[in-house]
């Protein structure tokens, strides 16, 4: 007498096995990590370009102001409240102050076409100050403009008539209204870059 024997074959349930899930998660993690790395690289490149563009703009502004002021220096000191008169150009390696001409006056304000200005370094910022009136300027508030940031040092030097470089101006007390033949400006940035420019004054045209 024969018997029928039934067997049940195991059937795979729908879905993924644990190993397949682990592999899928690992692959997704690798793809995500690569995508984040690419995005971070693009963001860093964009930030570097923006910083470079901003620095270039600041350098152009700095160069424009220095060239305009130094090339238009005039023999005009500043008269104080008393009998003291400050030289037309007064400077050391750390700062420079002078009087320039050619200050435009489109609004026809009650002021001169000359302007008293000063360059100095404050808290790693190259600052330009100017005053409305040339005389007794120290008694009035100045108008300050930050030209360049992240600056470690600014050094000024002054060339005399003999074309010798001096660390301060005027060279002697006799030449209160003398102008340097040229002014050298060296700027050291925080990233170790150094920028050096030499600007000629009107005195250079006299020999």
Q: Which of 142, 139, 80 is closest to 116 using CA atoms? A: 142
Kindly report the CATH number assigned to the domain that includes residue 112.
3.10.610.10
What is the number of structural domains in the chain?
1
- Tell me whether residue 30 is in a domain: no
- Tell me whether residue 200 is in a domain: yes
What's the CA gap between 202 and 205, in Å, rounded? 6
What's the CA gap between 176 and 105, in Å, rounded? 28
- Quick check: 120 and 142 in contact, CB under 8 A? no
Mean pLDDT per 10-residue segment, the chain (207 residues): 52 65 75 75 70 88 96 90 80 96 80 92 96 82 94 97 94 78 97 95 81
C-alpha to C-alpha distances, 91 to 20, 52, 206, nearest whole angstrom = 77, 31, 22
- Tell me whether residue 99 is in a domain: yes
- Tell me whether residue 80 is in a domain: yes
What's the CA gap between 48 and 170, in Å, rounded? 43
- Give the domain extent around 99: 65-206
- Global pTM? 0.74
């Amino acid at each position: 007498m024969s018997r029928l024997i039934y067997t049940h074959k195991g059937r795979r349930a729908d879905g993924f096995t644990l190993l397949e899930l682990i592999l899928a998660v690992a692959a997704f993690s690798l793809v995500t990590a690569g995508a984040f790395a690419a995005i971070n690289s693009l963001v860093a490149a964009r930030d570097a370009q923006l910083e470079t563009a901003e620095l270039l703009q600041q350098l152009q502004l700095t160069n424009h102001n220095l060239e305009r002021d130094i090339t238009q220096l005039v023999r005009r000191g500043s008269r104080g409240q008393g009998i003291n008169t400050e030289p037309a150009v007064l400077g050391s390696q750390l700062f420079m102050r002078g009087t320039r001409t050619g200050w435009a006056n489109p609004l026809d304000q009650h002021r001169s076409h000359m302007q008293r200005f000063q360059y100095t370094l404050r808290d790693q910022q190259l600052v330009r100050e100017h005053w409305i009136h040339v005389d007794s300027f120290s008694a009035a508030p100045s108008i300050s403009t930050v030209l360049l940031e992240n600056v470690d040092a600014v050094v000024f030097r002054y060339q005399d008539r003999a074309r010798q470089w001096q660390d301060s101006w005027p060279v002697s007390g006799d030449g209160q209204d003398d102008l340097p033949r040229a002014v050298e400006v060296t700027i050291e940035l925080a990233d170790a870059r150094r920028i050096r420019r030499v600007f000629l004054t009107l005195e250079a045209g006299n020999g």
